[in-house]
């Protein structure tokens, strides 16, 4: 009888977790073959669904015994292939770990398991006048564990900050299977800060302590329509330059509006070349004053229509188009790439004009949706995968947009992580020395390189190894865990 390398560990996982929590059936395994970035697909060797930190730790220790790579997965909404599994490894899915363990109002915090969705935290505390501030558009489904790993953002991060600003404690399972607590009050190096945004390469978060924010006294949302994106951009600069920090300031171009209209009939003003959504929150008097200023600035910048919402239903209606924008482009294009890059806010007009030029040069439509206040672009690169060469041209446009971001002093990712998709761009942003230093941090947590290997870094190295001429094939390369470029 032939046995596969994963048969024995899979049996051990079943003893530990019970048969319902281990998936080895090839058809069911395919459910987990990709995240939101669907053009990278790998069927995992085994999927496990632990229910507690102790079970995660035991799974990781078994992985260590057999030298198996493991990858954590929350809801699989990531857009950089961060949760892409390994065919020779174990996918640790947190969907059974979704309890809100405690809410501590006096200390403004909640302790939750990693599989809890972002929105569920707010829903659990809204009646207490609190909410969890970072709000990815995927917040109904993405998990807090995934948010921690990606240091996720969202529309309200301009004023309130990213996940890293709202996580005050973590329980993690280290890559060798220990359960360790990290806190923002720990003396010494900021290991909590290092873990947030580490994309599953430093271990698996098994508990997250989040900061709760007080619901603002007043919220006003306005939508301003402009003939073109330049005028909308001028309004953004004038608002921020005028010292106003809105809770959110989001822009969509005409193509993105067309897609949203087709998908959710959001009824944005007709003929808009750009739509700006500005949300103001805080004490009622301050919001009223800022609202006057923002309206004036939008009109002076050329807004031809302004709509205002100050009750939750009207607000939801304004946000509906923006929040559905990524998925909505599926209505106007058979395939698309969601890109994520950052530029200094002042470079937005120039970069958007260059994206437009690229779009014409390659005959590939690009719809722009962006967190304008942060300079965080989300160009949606549209193509028809049935058209010969279109996917390749879209890939080139998508890569050249990242080049533009780097040239303008920005970054190759704002909030979606590097994952497997953008690791090849890391050498464009960072020197060998920079990357080696990052690898040293990784090696301090994960000396054997078992925790989500192949993500972030273009060429994984072993701990303590310096770049140089290697004789023979590196064991990591031989086992398919690393690649030489």
Ligand X SMILES: Cc1cc2nc3c(=O)[nH]c(=O)nc-3n(C[C@H](O)[C@H](O)[C@H](O)COP(=O)(O)OP(=O)(O)OC[C@H]3O[C@@H](n4cnc5c(N)ncnc54)[C@H](O)[C@@H]3O)c2cc1C
- Using the contact rule CB under 6 A, the part of the chain among 139-147, 238-246, 385-393, 438-446 near ligand X is 139-147
Q: Judged by CB under 6 A, does residue 452 bind ligand X?
A: yes
Q: Judged by CB under 6 A, does residue 199 bind ligand X?
A: yes
Beta-carbon count within 10 A of 394 CB: 24
List of residues 6+ apart from 442 with CB closer than 8 A: 198, 201, 202, 449, 457
- Using the contact rule CB under 6 A, the part of the chain among 3-11, 71-79, 300-308, 439-447 near ligand X is 71-79
Q: Judged by CB under 6 A, does residue 72 bind ligand X?
A: yes
From residue 205 to residue 234, what is the string marking binding to ligand X with x (rule CB under 6 A)?
Answer: x-----------------------------
What is the nearest approach in angstroms of ligand X to the Cβ of residue 363? 26
Of the candidate residues 51, 55, 122, 143, the single one contacting ligand X (CB under 6 A): 143
Q: Judged by CB under 6 A, does residue 368 bind ligand X?
A: no
Length of the chain: 485
The nearer residue to ligand X, 80 or 301, going by C-beta atoms, is 80
439 vs 423: CA distance, rounded Å: 13
Inter-residue contact 406 to 295 (CB < 8 Å): no
List of residues 6+ apart from 303 with CB closer than 8 A: 224, 225, 226, 231, 235, 276
User: Quick one: tokens of 319?
Assistant: 């946000």
Residues numbered 151-180 forming contacts with ligand X, rule: CB under 6 A:
152-154
The nearer residue to ligand X, 50 or 399, going by C-beta atoms, is 50
The nearer residue to ligand X, 9 or 115, going by C-beta atoms, is 115
- Using the contact rule CB under 6 A, the part of the chain among 197-205, 288-296, 349-357, 380-388 near ligand X is 197-205
Q: Judged by CB under 6 A, does residue 327 bind ligand X?
A: yes
89 vs 84: CA distance, rounded Å: 11
The nearer residue to ligand X, 62 or 297, going by C-beta atoms, is 62
To which H or E segment does residue 155 belong?
none
Distances in Å between the Cα of 33 and the Cα atoms of 9, 38, 69, 92 are 20, 9, 15, 13
User: Quick one: tokens of 67?
Assistant: 């030298």
What is the nearest approach in angstroms of ligand X to the Cβ of residue 222? 20
Pairing of strands 376-383, 335-338: antiparallel
What is the nearest approach in angstroms of ligand X to the Cβ of residue 302? 28
Q: Judged by CB under 6 A, does residue 35 bind ligand X?
A: yes
What is the nearest approach in angstroms of ligand X to the Cβ of residue 60? 11
Strand, helix or coil at 26?
Answer: helix
Beta-carbon count within 10 A of 88 CB: 17
Q: Which residues bind ligand X (CB under 6 A)?
A: 35-36, 71-79, 82-83, 94, 114, 136-138, 142-143, 145-147, 149-150, 152-154, 199-200, 204-205, 326-327, 415-416, 452
């Amino acid at each position: 009888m032939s046995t596969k390398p994963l048969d024995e560990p899979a049996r051990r996982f079943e003893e530990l977790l019970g048969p319902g929590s281990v998936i080895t059936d090839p058809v069911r395994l395919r459910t987990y073959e990709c995240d939101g970035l669907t053009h990278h697909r790998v069927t995992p060797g085994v999927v496990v669904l632990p229910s507690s930190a102790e079970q995660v730790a035991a799974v990781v220790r078994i992985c260590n015994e057999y030298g198996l790579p493991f990858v954590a997965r929350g809801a699989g909404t990531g857009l950089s292939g961060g949760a892409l599994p390994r065919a020779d490894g174990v996918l640790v899915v947190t969907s059974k770990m979704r309890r809100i363990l405690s809410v501590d109002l006096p200390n403004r915090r909640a302790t939750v398991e990693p599989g809890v969705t972002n929105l569920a935290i707010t829903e659990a505390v809204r009646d207490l006048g609190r909410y969890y501030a970072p709000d990815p558009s995927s917040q109904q489904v993405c998990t807090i564990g995934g948010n921690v790993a990606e240091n996720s953002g969202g529309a309200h991060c301009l004023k309130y900050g990213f996940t890293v600003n709202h996580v005050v404690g973590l329980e993690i399972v280290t890559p060798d299977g220990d359960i360790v607590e990290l806190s923002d009050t720990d003396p010494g190096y900021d290991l909590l800060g290092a873990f947030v945004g580490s994309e599953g390469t430093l271990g698996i978060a098994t508990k997250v302590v989040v900061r709760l924010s007080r619901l603002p006294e007043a919220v006003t949302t306005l939508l301003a329509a402009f003939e073109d994106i330049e005028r909308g951009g001028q309004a953004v600069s004038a608002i921020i330059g005028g010292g106003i920090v809105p809770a959110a300031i989001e822009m969509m171009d005409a193509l993105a509006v067309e897609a949203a209209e087709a998908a959710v009939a959001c009824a944005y003003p007709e003929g808009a070349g750009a739509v700006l959504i500005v949300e103001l929150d805080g004490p009622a008097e301050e919001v009223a004053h800022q609202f006057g200023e923002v309206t004036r600035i939008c009109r002076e910048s050329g807004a031809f229509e302004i709509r205002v919402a100050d009750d939750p239903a009207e607000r939801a209606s304004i946000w509906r188009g923006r929040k559905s924008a990524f998925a909505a482009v599926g209505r106007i294009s058979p395939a698309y790439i969601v890109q994520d890059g950052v530029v200094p806010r002042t470079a937005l007009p120039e970069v958007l004009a260059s994206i437009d030029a690229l779009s014409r040069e390659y005959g590939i439509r690009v719809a722009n949706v962006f967190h304008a206040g942060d300079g965080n672009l989300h160009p949606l690169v549209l193509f028809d995968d049935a058209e010969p060469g279109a996917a390749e041209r879209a890939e080139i446009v998508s890569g050249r947009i990242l080049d533009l971001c780097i040239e303008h002093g920005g970054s190759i990712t704002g909030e979606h992580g590097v994952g497997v998709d953008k690791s090849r761009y890391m050498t464009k942003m960072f020197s060998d020395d920079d990357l080696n230093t990052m690898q040293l941090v990784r090696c301090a947590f994960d000396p054997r390189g078992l925790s989500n290997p192949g993500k972030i870094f273009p060429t994984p190295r072993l701990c303590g190894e310096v770049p140089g001429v290697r004789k023979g094939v590196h064991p990591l390369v031989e086992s398919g865990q690393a690649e030489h470029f």
